[in-house]
């Protein structure tokens, strides 16, 4: 039988039976049996055939069908990792990278970091020359192109979770299309849960006129093949709320308790938006356990979000003990990236946290926004993996039908493009507008980004990367404003302090969650608080941590997140190495905090704000676009309200809040970026 109609790039449907319930195996042979039960196993030969004969293969299949964990193994078994070549599989999320790599290593019975490894930013768990299957974030793969533009060490690149349309995935797809022209031997697999397979296929379709010529070279078919893995889930009964809920967090908690009371066994998966509300829900649910005694003590409540320590991640995948009911409270990472066995109930808040950038105000932040219908369907599907399930939507049916948008907006179209542009430029792509985007970014966002890059001295009048600054910034795997801050620290003699600050800013938060013990927490914070602001406070905390001998006890006492601090130490070490590579000496300014603040401004002058003294309630306005902003309550400058500040990032809830704020002298702004302020301000800064 023909596997596929090559000319049409047609769709192959092979229905597969639902995968049966599986207890997580221990021995290797039981894992082997589990592998064979996955829907994708039926398509093993088809996958290998298509990959052999087509430059690009698109694999569409339901979450949990085995795409991520199995396909790389099939490819390895078929010899694609022989002769020192590597099979790459990208994920948009770091946590997913770590988790699937660990799983695949376990299935193959090898130590993680040897035949199977992973790379995420600041963490490389691979063994060059030994690693055959490498999981990595799409962002890291784009970065690898700077050293190896044609990605020559890879025989196959599987771009996974393509439906997520992350900024880096979109960049990667455009870049891979270019690489493919130069490397006919390279195979690309694009895989996802739901996808506009046709549009993806059109994107990779190279015009016929080149086909005849390629045929002579015995090159693979340039037309993408599409393979559909029909992992048939069980029916999921959908329940809606009758009236809109005002507090989805409380509603989610109530729903979990209701399910637990009324419904037969089966784990519960709750979709909330981020660490804050997830931690709050965990507290509420475990609080119930204590309050009501034995009835709820059989709930095993677990959070799931990126940044979760390894040990806690593993609990998520451990089978639920007998007599217990697992409740996993997750961000949208459990929507398609990770599959949890045993889930029979899904509680969907209807929200997720997404990046949004407004090029007019030049404000990018993480906002809680309604999900799309496509996401809602994915979430519901998680309830029907092993048995018929139920999904409780915390929004009305009318809302779902009439107001929810059918698809999400690609991240490309709602992001600040500064990093993306630097990376493309570092890869020699100067005409960014002419780049082969799968969906074009907004021109306003592009212009804004170019303007910022110019003011940071990263690009010149011709929009080319400056030397050395622009090229050095491109080498540092951090936000360009942070990279610029680090490079400028060299001029102020405070690289040591600034890379510490950069490391702290790279972890989510070094404080532990504060609910319930507000007073003690505030006292702890005061112990480290510096009048200059949060960045200097970080230096005090870092010093304290080192002096304590990196003690977890010390962290506990001071409401500091021990895992985050260990990560900080680790990232700092890597930044040290990077500085060495860039030929920059790491020097301390010996508590000259003015130098530190000036270095911060060199990167973040665009985030300067001025206190509106008449406002009485601590309102600031950004110098740039006169946006109203406020100091976040977590900042040591909350209620202190210095006249002039520079912030690191904004979070928006009811207002725009500045997180990580430092007090400055306004004259430093014009010093750091005269052109920026003078060009934009008809009347220069009002002193």
Return the axis-axis angle of helices 534-547 and 562-582, rounded to nearest 10°: 100
Rounded to whole angstroms, the Cα distance separating 170 from 523 reads 45
Length of the chain: 687
Please, which residue, 99 or 119, has the CB nearer to ligand ADP? 99
Choosing among ligand ADP, Mg ion, none, which partner's interface includes residue 558 (Cβ < 5 to 8 Å by kind)? none
Q: Is the peptide bond before 468 cis (omega within 30 degrees of 0)?
A: yes
C-beta of 319: minimal distance to ligand ADP in Å?
9
C-beta of 410: minimal distance to ligand ADP in Å?
21
C-beta of 59: minimal distance to Mg ion in Å?
10
Spatial CA neighbour of 658 closest among 616, 620, 626: 620
Please, which residue, 68 or 349, has the CB nearer to Mg ion? 68
Instruction: Write out the residues near ligand ADP by the rule CB under 6 A.
Output: 24, 38, 61, 63-70, 99-100, 102-103, 317, 339, 341
Spatial CA neighbour of 649 closest among 636, 668, 635: 635
Please, which residue, 68 or 201, has the CB nearer to Mg ion? 68
Question: Considering only 63-71, 381-389, 531-539, 568-576, which stretch makes contact with Mg ion by CB under 5 A?
Answer: 63-71
C-beta of 340: minimal distance to ligand ADP in Å?
7
Rounded to whole angstroms, the Cα distance separating 563 from 307 reads 9
Question: Considering only 66-74, 82-90, 413-421, 667-675, which stretch makes contact with Mg ion by CB under 5 A?
Answer: 66-74
| Site membership for Mg ion, residue 70 (CB under 5 A) | no
Please, which residue, 117 or 220, has the CB nearer to ligand ADP? 117
Give one word for 499, left, alpha or beta, with left for phi > 0 and alpha for psi -120 to 50.
alpha
Residues in Cβ contact with 173 at an 8 Å cutoff, skipping those fewer than 6 apart: 159, 162, 190, 203, 438
Please, which residue, 172 or 672, has the CB nearer to ligand ADP? 172
Rounded to whole angstroms, the Cα distance separating 149 from 217 reads 23
Choosing among ligand ADP, Mg ion, none, which partner's interface includes residue 166 (Cβ < 5 to 8 Å by kind)? none
The dihedral through the CA atoms of 673, 674, 678, 684 has a sign that is: positive
Rounded to whole angstroms, the Cα distance separating 342 from 48 reads 30
Choosing among Mg ion, ligand ADP, none, which partner's interface includes residue 99 (Cβ < 5 to 8 Å by kind)? ligand ADP
Q: Mark residues 113-142: x for contact with Mg ion by CB under 5 A, - for none.
A: ------------------------------
| Site membership for Mg ion, residue 68 (CB under 5 A) | yes
Please list every residue from 3 through 62 that binds Mg ion, using CB under 5 A. none
Choosing among Mg ion, ligand ADP, none, which partner's interface includes residue 69 (Cβ < 5 to 8 Å by kind)? ligand ADP
C-beta of 313: minimal distance to ligand ADP in Å?
8
Which position's Cβ is nearest Mg ion?
68
| Site membership for Mg ion, residue 192 (CB under 5 A) | no
Please, which residue, 382 or 414, has the CB nearer to ligand ADP? 382
Rounded to whole angstroms, the Cα distance separating 545 from 552 reads 9
How far is residue 430 from each of residues 419, 424, 460, 567, measured CA to CA in Å?
Answer: 14, 7, 12, 35
Choosing among Mg ion, ligand ADP, none, which partner's interface includes residue 658 (Cβ < 5 to 8 Å by kind)? none
Choosing among ligand ADP, Mg ion, none, which partner's interface includes residue 348 (Cβ < 5 to 8 Å by kind)? none
Choosing among Mg ion, ligand ADP, none, which partner's interface includes residue 223 (Cβ < 5 to 8 Å by kind)? none
C-beta of 300: minimal distance to ligand ADP in Å?
16
Please, which residue, 23 or 577, has the CB nearer to ligand ADP? 23
Rounded to whole angstroms, the Cα distance separating 48 from 226 reads 13
How many CB atoms are closer than 10 A to CB 521? Answer: 18
C-beta of 353: minimal distance to ligand ADP in Å?
22
| Site membership for Mg ion, residue 166 (CB under 5 A) | no
| Site membership for Mg ion, residue 91 (CB under 5 A) | no
Residue-wise DSSP of 197-221: HHHHHHHHPPPTHHHHHHHHTTPPB
C-beta of 128: minimal distance to ligand ADP in Å?
25
Please, which residue, 64 or 603, has the CB nearer to Mg ion? 64
Choosing among ligand ADP, Mg ion, none, which partner's interface includes residue 199 (Cβ < 5 to 8 Å by kind)? none
Please, which residue, 385 or 390, has the CB nearer to ligand ADP? 385
Q: Give me the sheet containing 236-240, strands edge to edge.
A: 236-240, 389-393, 343-348, 267-271, 325-330, 299-304
Please, which residue, 64 or 233, has the CB nearer to ligand ADP? 64
| Site membership for Mg ion, residue 99 (CB under 5 A) | no
How many positions of this chain bind Mg ion (CB under 5 A)? 1
Choosing among Mg ion, ligand ADP, none, which partner's interface includes residue 507 (Cβ < 5 to 8 Å by kind)? none
Residues in Cβ contact with 426 at an 8 Å cutoff, skipping those fewer than 6 apart: 146, 465, 471, 474, 475
How far is residue 46 from each of residues 13, 53, 259, 459, 624, measured CA to CA in Å?
Answer: 11, 11, 42, 47, 56
Please, which residue, 66 or 408, has the CB nearer to ligand ADP? 66
Residues in Cβ contact with 407 at an 8 Å cutoff, skipping those fewer than 6 apart: 372, 373, 374
Choosing among ligand ADP, Mg ion, none, which partner's interface includes residue 4 (Cβ < 5 to 8 Å by kind)? none
Strands (E), 272-387: 299-304, 325-330, 343-348, 351-358, 363-370
Please, which residue, 226 or 555, has the CB nearer to ligand ADP? 226
How many CB atoms are closer than 10 A to CB 239? Answer: 15
Q: Mark residues 400-429: x for contact with Mg ion by CB under 5 A, - for none.
A: ------------------------------
How buried is residue 379: exposed, middle or buried, by Cβ count under 10 Å (0-12/13-18/19+)? buried
Please, are residues 253 and 285 in contact by the beta-carbon 8 Å criterion?
yes
Please, which residue, 102 or 609, has the CB nearer to ligand ADP? 102
Rounded to whole angstroms, the Cα distance separating 478 from 172 reads 18
Choosing among ligand ADP, Mg ion, none, which partner's interface includes residue 103 (Cβ < 5 to 8 Å by kind)? ligand ADP
Please, which residue, 339 or 558, has the CB nearer to Mg ion? 339
Question: Considering only 14-22, 27-35, 67-75, 415-423, which stretch makes contact with Mg ion by CB under 5 A?
Answer: 67-75
Rounded to whole angstroms, the Cα distance separating 499 from 537 reads 14
Spatial CA neighbour of 191 closest among 156, 233, 167, 226: 226
By the criterion CB under 5 A, which residues form the site for Mg ion?
68
């Amino acid at each position: 039988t023909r596997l596929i109609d090559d000319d049409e790039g047609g769709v192959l449907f092979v229905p597969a039976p639902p995968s049966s319930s599986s207890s997580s195996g221990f021995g290797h042979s039981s894992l082997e049996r589990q592998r064979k039960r996955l829907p994708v196993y039926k398509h093993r030969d088809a996958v290998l055939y298509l990959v052999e004969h087509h430059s690009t293969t698109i694999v569409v299949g339901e979450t949990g069908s085995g795409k991520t964990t199995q396909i790389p193994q099939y490819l390895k078994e078929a010899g694609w990792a022989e002769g020192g070549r590597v099979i790459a599989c990208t994920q948009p999320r770091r946590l997913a990278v770590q988790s699937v790599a660990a799983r695949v290593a376990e299935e193959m019975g090898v130590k993680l970091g040897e035949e199977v490894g992973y790379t995420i930013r600041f963490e490389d768990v691979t063994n060059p020359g030994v690693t055959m299957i490498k999981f990595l974030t799409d962002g890291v793969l784009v970065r690898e192109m700077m050293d190896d533009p044609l990605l020559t060490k890879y025989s196959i690149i599987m771009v996974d979770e393509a439906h997520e349309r992350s900024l880096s995935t979109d960049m990667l797809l455009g870049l891979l299309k270019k690489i493919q022209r130069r490397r006919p031997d390279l195979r690309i697999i694009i895989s996802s849960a739901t996808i506009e397979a046709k549009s993806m296929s059109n994107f990779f379709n190279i015009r016929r006129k080149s086909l005849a010529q390629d045929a002579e070279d015995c090159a693979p078919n340039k037309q993408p093949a599409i393979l559909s893995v029909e992992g048939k889930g069980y029916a999921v009964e959908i329940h809606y709320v009758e009236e809109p809920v005002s507090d989805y967090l409380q509603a989610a908690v109530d729903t979990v308790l209701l399910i637990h009371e009324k419904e037969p066994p089966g784990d519960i998966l709750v979709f909330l938006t981020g660490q804050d509300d997830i931690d709050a829900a965990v507290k509420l649910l475990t609080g119930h356990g204590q309050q009501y005694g034995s009835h709820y003590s059989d709930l095993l409540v677990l959070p799931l979000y990126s940044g979760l320590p390894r040990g806690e991640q593993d609990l998520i995948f451990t089978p639920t003990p007998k007599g217990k009911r697992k409740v996993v409270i997750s961000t949208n990472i459990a929507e398609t990236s990770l599959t949890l066995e045993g889930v029979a109930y899904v509680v969907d808040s209807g929200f997720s946290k997404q990046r949004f950038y407004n090029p007019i105000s030049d404000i990018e932040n993480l906002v809680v926004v309604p999900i799309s219908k496509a996401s809602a369907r994915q979430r519901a599907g998680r309830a029907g993996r092993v048995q018929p399930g139920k999904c409780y939507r915390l929004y009305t049916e009318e809302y779902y039908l009439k107001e929810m948008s059918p698809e999400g907006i690609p991240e490309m179209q709602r992001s600040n493009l500064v990093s993306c542009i630097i990376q493309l430029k570092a890869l020699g792509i100067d005409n960014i507008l002419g780049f082969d985007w799968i969906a074009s970014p907004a021109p306003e966002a592009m212009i804004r980004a170019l303007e910022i890059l110019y003011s940071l001295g990263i690009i010149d009048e011709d929009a080319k990367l400056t030397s050395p600054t622009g090229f050095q910034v491109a080498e540092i795997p951090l936000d360009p404003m942070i990279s610029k801050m680090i490079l400028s620290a060299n001029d102020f003699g405070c690289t040591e302090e600034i890379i510490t600050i950069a490391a702290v800013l790279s972890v989510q938060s070094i404080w532990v969650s504060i609910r319930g013990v507000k007073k003690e927490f505030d006292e702890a914070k005061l112990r480290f608080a510096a009048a200059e602001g949060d960045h200097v406070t970080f230096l005090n905390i870092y010093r304290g941590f080192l002096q304590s001998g990196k003690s977890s006890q010390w962290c506990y006492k001071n409401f500091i997140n021990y895992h985050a601090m260990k990560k900080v130490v680790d990232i700092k070490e890597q930044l040290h190495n990077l500085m060495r590579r860039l030929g920059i000496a790491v020097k301390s300014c010996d508590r000259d905090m003015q130098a530190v603040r000036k270095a911060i401004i060199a990167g973040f002058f665009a985030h300067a704000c001025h206190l509106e003294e008449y406002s009485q309630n601590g309102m600031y306005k950004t110098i740039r676009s006169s946006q109203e902003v406020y100091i976040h309550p977590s900042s040591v400058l909350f209620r202190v309200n210095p006249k002039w500040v520079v912030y690191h990032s904004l979070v928006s809830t009811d207002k725009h809040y500045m997180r990580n704020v430092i007090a400055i002298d306004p004259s430093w702004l014009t010093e750091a970026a005269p052109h920026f302020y003078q060009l934009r301000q008809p009347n220069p800064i009002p002193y």
